[in-house]
Amino acid sequence: MEKLVLIDGHSILNRAFYGVPGLTNSEGLHTNAVYGFLNILFKLLEEEKPGYLAVAFDLKAPTFRHTMYDAYKGTRKPMPEELHEQVPLMKEVLTAMGIPIFTREGYEADDILGTVAKKAQAAGMEVTVVSGDRDLLQLSDAHIKISIPKTSRGTTEVHTYYPEDVKREYQVTPEQFIDVKALMGDTSDNIPGVPSIGEKTATNLILQFGSVNGVYEHLSEVKPPRAKKSLEEHRDLAELSYKLAKICIDAPVEFSPEDARIGDLYTKEAYEYMSRLEFKSLLARFGDHVKKEAAAALDFHAVTDLAVAEALFQKAMGSERTGAVLLAEGPEISGAALCLDGQNAYLIQKEGFLTGEYLAEKMTELYRTGHVWTLGLKSQLPFLDLGYGDTVYDAAVAAYLLNPLKDTYDYDDLARDHLGLTAPSRADLLKKLTYAEAMDQEPEAFLSFAGFLGHCAYQSGGILMEKLEAEGMKDLYLEIELPLIYALYHMEEEGIAVKREELSAYGEKLKQQITVLEQEIWDMTGSQFNINSPKQLGEVLFEKMGLKGGKKTKTGYSTAADVLEKLAPDYPVVQKILDYRTYAKLNSTYAEGLGNFIGPDGRIHSRFNQTITATGRISSTEPNLQNIPIRMELGRAIRKVFVPRDGFVFLDADYSQIELRVLAHMSGDSRLIEAYRSAQDIHAITASQVFHIPLDQVTPLKRRNAKAVNFGIVYGISAFGLSEDLSISRKEALEYINQYFETYPGVKTFLDGLVADAREKGFVSTMFGRRRPVPELGSANFMQRSFGERVAMNSPIQGTAADIIKIAMIRVDRRLREEGLESRLILQVHDELLVETAVREKAQVERILSEEMSRAAALKVPLEIDMHDGKNWFEAK
DNA sequence: TTGCGGCCT
DNA sequence: GCCTAAGGCCGCAAC
């Protein structure tokens, strides 16, 4: 079928302008947008291989929308000059490449795209419309695909939408997309919408009634009374917005495919432009575009036959090392990738006798041999029957230990960073298809994906263990990180029960307060603005009302809490704003945010990530359960909705000052060690020794200062930071620091040694050998170098504490299971473990927690634990 | 997407 | 003078 690609010129140019860092050629011309546009264009040509191509641009002249709606004139945002000057340049380059440019007076590019796309579809063509603007999704059709490229950090990812994709993401059909937009409006397009109807309400209404007309036909049934009232009052607005939002598909544009047939893009004129604009990588492309990419030397095989699969598993079981990944997403197994040598890789597809159950069983058997290297074991565990006794090597976790500073550890990352191989990424091969979709729709790409995945897992096994051993991290890997995968998986599976009704009642109370505060703030400031917008808030406070407290951020006035708190005593409205912020935060992030994650089992199953942090801590996402409020009473109350199941209580155990104890141990400072061996109150004893006062005469203020110094030491002390924290002069802060170091000279020697060591070796290490590279120390920039010094001081301390609690987690989780208990570890919050404990097992679990946490490491000071129980998380802290 | 602001250890 | 205390995640606004 004939393929046509249509590009929304201004939109893509705009995307490229913001996505690509500033570039100028030697004439001083800005070129970044043109460069980004061309990169997107070439990527499209490679992926789509279209026979036809055209680009649509807006004209300056007013369009039919302006005659409909005066305010539409305000729509067009002023284009930055640096972008504006690239528009004619872009058109010239396209012309040089023989690519047609479509424009029409009185219409926007959207309308031209809509009209041409529908005409081409009617003529039997397969159309791809490329834009950065999601409004175009309304054009999505059986043979019209909407492509939305995203450029960041030099790489471009393309998201594509057929009608079913639109439905999956927005729930509504492409046509209804217009209806939703008409109701909710769009500030960036100056489409007014109906007041007080947001995205959620609009989507719900359209889902319920089908269209804007449908909504008005059933106005009496419309649910939130506020929305109903607003709809009644603003029917004109809704109808106008619909007309503005709807893209015209019958603009007076002629289209015959021949106008858009792609000829030779690599013309001499185009080459000259690339040269003048100094696009070196594109010049190279022009130079060798004929050269085919060297075909991959690997052999990938698809296995669909039971006997063949049996033989392959048999061989894998007996081989010295196997690369294997169970391809599973959501609840579904799609296949298995296997690799037994450096040449061949296999995709065993779920098909016929090769059922999901069969694959799960064979893979379990294979993984139990103890010679399997995989990638992302935790996400495969729901389908496998494995436990602490089974060692499965996870290459992603190994790669994380070797360099914890990277964002991702996918197979293509491993290929590049460790195997000297360039592998196409999942996004390159499968776009955004799921495994099941890819296997069905793009079987060759899926085979390739599985092949590279298996190959990289296998090859990683040949190299990563050697690297770990060479860097002294083999034990860390085998004894801590690999078993930890099971502990994290168990916590994810277990989840934590949340009282849904109580949570939403809590949210309702907050919302009432928010409404009241909002009105009061509007009255007191004399303008109805969005209090959530730091920009608007800054303007109202510091310009309209003239409060003192000038600029602080890059983009405007700082309205951060510490700034506002200084103003609160003098201006009552500022306190209201701070209160509003508190309520709004608690409602959006916690009441509503957490509510969205309660599963059908009434529990929240957060994800615990093992390869995110630079220091070795784990992180929690979807939702983050490691930042549930505790400091303020109002927020702390949220913890009451986290409850144990019937017949259970919560037992919560946390390490007392673990980082300071780690510091005492690692530094070996004898005075600090002696102090912590006996101390009940570590900050008080620090105050007593540093400020030379008897322990029983330490005032709360002195203790507070000592506590701040202790924090400073752990964070990588700086006089500036300490002075900010205590609101004292930098000189005074420096005096505190010097006094501290005089008192504990071993700490000073230790921290200086860490920095010197890091400078020499390029990394720092924890007690258990975990490394963190510190490249910033080599920087010529003072700020960056200082940052590197703080990293060098903090990471070994924070990281060692992370190692210790990981050891404790593994042992606690193992013992609960191996001793046949029903109690389960369900959360870790950096220095805290939460166990959902069967009432009759309480004493035993207390003993397990206490023993395993204290014994996790043998330090020169005791590891002390505070433990509480309760019928919810609030009580158990 | 980025920046701001805010919650945790 | 630099204008940073360490490590995270997430909602919102504006781009």
Q: How far is the CA of A275 from the C1' of B4 (A)?
A: 41
Closest CA relative to residue A139, chosen from A171, A173, A91: A173
Is the pLDDT confidence value at A860 over 60?
yes
Cβ proximity of A174 and A158 under 8 Å: no
Give tens-digit pLDDT for A12-69. 877 777 776 666 666 667 787 888 888 778 777 777 888 898 998 888 777 878 777 7
DSSP state of A872: S
- Decide: CB of A829 under 7 A of nucleic strand C: no
CB A95 within 8 A of CB A54: no
Q: How far apart are CA A874 and CA A292, in angstroms?
A: 64
CATH number of A3-166+248-260: 3.40.50.1010
- Answer for A725: CB within 7 Å of strand C: yes
Q: Is the CB of A766 under 7 A from strand C?
A: no
Compute the CA torsion angle A302, A307, A309, A313 (nearest 10 deg).
-150
Q: Kindly provide the b/e burial profile for residues A259-276, where b requires at least 16 CB atoms within 10 angstroms of the residue's own CB.
A: ebbbeebeeeebbebbee
- Indicate if CB(A631) is under 7 A from strand B: yes
Instruction: Judge if the beta carbon of A349 is closer than 7 A to nucleic acid strand B.
Output: no
Q: Which of residues 608-637 of A touch strand C (CB under 7 A)?
A: 609, 612-615, 617, 619-624, 626-627
Contact A135/A102 with Cβ under 8 angstroms?
no
Average pLDDT of the segment spanning A851-873 = 97
Nearest to A747 by CA among A680, A702, A689: A689
Residue A415: which H helix or E strand, with range? helix A411-418
Place of tokens 């009282």: A499
CA distance A868 to A877: 6
Q: Which tokens go with A613?
A: 């942090």
Q: Which amino acid would we find at residue A121? A: Q
A461 touches strand B (CB under 7 A): no
Strand ranges, E, within A747-853: 763-765, 771-773, 824-828, 832-838
Cβ-based contacts (< 7 Å) between A 136-155 and strand B:
150, 152-153
User: Which nucleotides of strand C are protein-proximal, with an atom < 7 A from a CB?
Assistant: 1-15
**Beta strand residue intervals within A704-818, DSSP E:** 763-765, 771-773
Burial pattern A608-630, b for ≥16 Cβ within 10 A else e, equals bebbebbbbbbebeebebbebbe
> What are the structure tokens assigned to A239, written together?
């109808």
Phi, psi of A763 (to 5 degrees): -155, 165
Indicate if the alpha-carbon torsion angle A697, A703, A709, A714 is positive or negative. Answer: positive
What single-letter DSSP state applies at residue A44?
H
**Cβ–Cβ under 8 Å, residues A377 and A326:** no
- Using the structure, give the distance in angstroms from the CA atom of A559 to the C1' atom of B5, rounded to a whole number: 8
Nucleic acid strand B within 7 Å of A73 CB: no
Is the Cβ atom of A632 within 7 Å of strand B at any atom?
yes
Rounded to a whole number of angstroms, the distance between the first and last alpha carbons of chain A is 65
Q: Which of residues 512-541 of A touch strand C (CB under 7 A)?
A: 530, 532-533, 535-536
What is the torsion angle, in degrees rounded to the nearest 10, for the CA atoms of residue A523, residue A528, residue A532 and residue A537? -80
Cβ within 8 Å of residue A18, ≥6 positions away: none
pLDDT in tens, A470-509: 999 999 999 999 999 999 999 999 999 999 999 999 999 9
CA of A838 to C1' of C3 (A): 53
Q: Which fold is adopted by the domain A299-470?
A: Nucleotidyltransferase; domain 5 (3.30.420)
Over its C-alpha atoms, chain A yields an Rg (Å, rounded) of: 31
**Collapsing DSSP states into helix, strand and coil, what is residue A299?**
strand
Give the span between the Cα atoms of A669 and A681, in whole angstroms: 18
Q: Residue A102 and residue A52: Cα distance in Å, rounded? A: 13
Q: What is the mean pLDDT of chain A?
A: 89
Give the mean model confidence (pLDDT) for residues A59-87: 71
Does the C-beta of A67 come within 7 A of strand B?
A: no
* Domain-wise residue ranges, chain A: 3-166+248-260, 299-470
CA–CA separation, A415 and A429 (whole Å):
15
Cβ of residue A559 near strand B, that is under 7 Å? yes
CA distance A299 to A297: 7
At A474 the pLDDT is 98
Distance A20 CA to B2 C1' (A): 13
Bridge partners of A130, per DSSP, are: A7, A147
C1’ B9 / CA A101, Å: 57
Report the distance from CA of residue A703 to the C1' of nucleotide C1 in Å, as an integer: 33
| CB-based contact A66:A105 (threshold 8 Å) | no
Quick one: chain A helix, strand, coil %, rounded to 5? 55, 15, 30
Identify the pLDDT of residue A753: 96
Backbone φ and ψ of A528, nearest 5°: -90, 95
Closest CA to A111 of A167, A65, A47, A170: A65
SS3 category, A568: coil
The answer to whether A867 CB is within 7 Å of strand C is no
Nucleotide nearest to A590 (CA to C1'): B7
Residue A403 contacts strand C, CB under 7 A: no
What pLDDT was estimated at residue A14? 78
- Angstrom distances, CA of residue A680 to CA of A262, A866, A867: 79, 12, 15
- Beta strand pairing call for A832-838 and A824-828: antiparallel
- Could you give the 3-state DSSP secondary structure of residue A721? helix
- Examine the pLDDT at A766 and tell me if it is beyond 50: yes
Which string of DSSP letters, residue by residue, matches A177-232? HHHHHHHH-BGGGTB---TT--HHHHHHHHHHHSSHHHHHHTGGG-SSHHHHHHHH
Answer yes or no: is A630 CB < 7 A from strand B: yes
Average of per-residue pLDDT across A366-375: 98
List bases in chain B with any atom under 7 Å of a protein Cβ. Answer: 1-9
Closest nucleotide over all strands to A157 (CA to C1'): B1
A18 touches strand C (CB under 7 A): yes
Give strand letter and number of the nucleotide nearest A530 (CA to C1'): C13
pLDDT tens, residue by residue, A711-748: 999 999 889 999 988 989 999 999 999 999 999 999 99
If one compares A119 and A80, the residue with the highest pLDDT of the two is A119
Q: Residue type at A174?
A: P
User: For residue A354, what is the DSSP state?
Assistant: B
Residue nearest to nucleotide C9 (CA to C1'): A624
Does at least one atom of strand B sit less than 7 Å from the CB of A555?
A: yes
Strand B contacted by A633 CB (< 7 A): no
A726 to A467, A576, A711, A717, A730: CA distances (angstroms): 45, 25, 12, 13, 10
pLDDT per residue over A568-620, tens digit each? 999 999 999 999 999 999 999 999 999 999 999 999 999 999 999 999 999 99
In which element (H, E) is residue A313 found?
A: helix A306-318
* pLDDT of A152 higher than 60: no
CA at A288, C1' at B5: how many angstroms apart?
50
Residue A528 has pLDDT above 80, yes or no: yes
d(CA A799, C1' C7) / Å: 10
d(CA A801, CA A676): 16
Positive or negative torsion for Cα A32, A36, A42, A45: negative
A618 CA: nearest nucleotide by C1'? C8
pLDDT at A187 exceeding the cut of 70? no
Task: Please give the protein residue whose CA is closest to the C1' of the nucleotide B5.
Answer: A560
